[in-house]
Structure 1
Amino acid sequence: MVQQYTKEMIREVFINMLNERPLDKITVKDIAKACNINRNTFYYHYTDIYALLSEIFQTELQRVIGEYNDTLSWEESFLLATKFALENQKAIYHIYNSMQREQLENYIYNVSGNVMIRYVEKVNDGISASLGDKKLIAFFYQCALTEMILHWIASGMKGDPNNIIRRIGQLFDGNIRLSLKRSADLNDIWQKSDMRFFSY
């Protein structure tokens, strides 16, 4: 119980610091002092600051997986999934401009993928698109969302991503279902032509 409390305190202090200054300006000594613990206590839980950052991203990803609600649209699901990034924009910007950018990119990519794969599966209910096409559709949106968010971060996080995501949802409304239906139709055509081939 005490160890869990200490880890949560370290995490909270670290995120608060990231919202105030660049990652390379934060030391273990700074975190330990703010938490009123010694550095050995920090190292008991984490090998270094980068391990702490990695755990934060893993924890947030698990939260996204655990909180997914299949009654939501993909836009609502994505905004819920990126809640951590939206609430800690300065911290995310500082990570993006550090040597740990790859961890951030992987986090956004994995969050986007988790949301889209689940949403595509939900929409596919009763359509019977092929497994390969479902993966392809989810992958397409995963890449698009990831690049869009990374571009937003790189441009200084100007504008409200909530509005952008919702607008994309309005512009592309129904496209995922339509793509899945096309997959099912193409499969039917292929199977029929394949049967004709083997009937000779």
Structure 2
Amino acid sequence: MLDNGKIFLYWGFIDLSEKKLDRRKRYTRKVLKESLITLLAEKPISSITVKEICEMADINRSTFYTHYSDHYDLLSKIEEEITADMNKYLSSYSFTLEEESVQMTQKLIEYISKNKFMFQTLLNKNGDPTFEKRLMNIAQRFMMNNWRGVTHLDEVNSRYLSTFVVSGAINVIKDWIENDMDYSPIEMAVMINNFTNYGLSNFD
């Protein structure tokens, strides 16, 4: 049986649509997701089998297939739920001004910090590269929307600049996670925004 204590704290934000399901179905999906995340922390999705997931979750395979077509489908659903929640989360903040940008970055990093194991697993070498791309697309879209009317960049230059900024920020956050979050969220938010706004000139 899966030891839920390790991951339960990281699963509070997942899939609001599951509120419509009965208690047994919610439990089944929760333990299957937790089992896959636990296995992904150790090896890539290509090396994981439905049988392993079911054994860890103490769920039979026929029950698994009533919810998901295979383990790739399960992973895709996990990623969709996380990115949908992050999309909703970011939509509640405005970060046009520099001060607001720092605050938004801090809240995003706090969100990641609270779900450390989940993000550490999905962004590690065993994770699905499309998850990182999903995160980049969300952040890039919000950044470009909030730059509109504020900068003099055209759409093409704005897109390339946001790609540069977001990819750098995500890789800094990945490094921060791997270093056991050695700085506080506000320290990381200020650091990332300093890198973005001032680059190397901030260290002259």
> Please, what TM-score do these two structures have when normalized by structure 2?
0.61
Percent of paired sites with the same residue: 14
Gaps of 5+ in 2: 1-19, 200-204
Distance in 1 between residues matched to 2:125 and 2:161, nearest whole Å = 32
Whether 1:152 aligns to 2:161 is: no
Structure 2: which amino acid aligns with 1:160? Y
Paired residues of 1:77 and 1:115 also in contact (CA < 8 A) = no
Whether 1:88 aligns to 2:112 is: no
**1:42 aligned residue:** 64
Distance in 2 between residues matched to 1:127 and 1:21, nearest whole Å = 41
Paired residues of 2:144 and 2:162 also in contact (CA < 8 A) = yes
> Please, what TM-score do these two structures have when normalized by structure 1?
0.62
SS in 2 for 1:148: helix
The structure number with the bigger radius of gyration is 1
Residue 97 of structure 1: CA displacement?
A: 5.1
**2:153 aligned residue:** 129
Distance in 2 between residues matched to 1:120 and 1:23, nearest whole Å = 36
Map 1:87-106 to 2 at 5 A: 87-96=114-123, 99=126, 101=127, 103=128, 105-106=129-130
Structure 2: which amino acid aligns with 1:9? Y
Gaps of 5+ in 1: 176-200
Distance in 2 between residues matched to 1:96 and 1:171, nearest whole Å = 22
**1:191 aligned residue:** none
Output one character per residue of 1:57-108: Cα deviation in whole Å (capped at 9) or x when no partner: 1111122223323424344444545666432323443445564x2x2x4323
Cα 1:173/1:86, change in 2 over 3 Å: same
Paired residues of 1:57 and 1:107 also in contact (CA < 8 A) = yes
Whether 1:64 aligns to 2:86 is: yes
The size of the alignment, in residue pairs, is 166
Output one character per residue of 1:99-149: Cα deviation in whole Å (capped at 9) or x when no partner: 4x2x2x432332233223322321332545211111011111121012222
**2:77 aligned residue:** 55
Two-structure CA RMSD over aligned residues (Å): 3.5
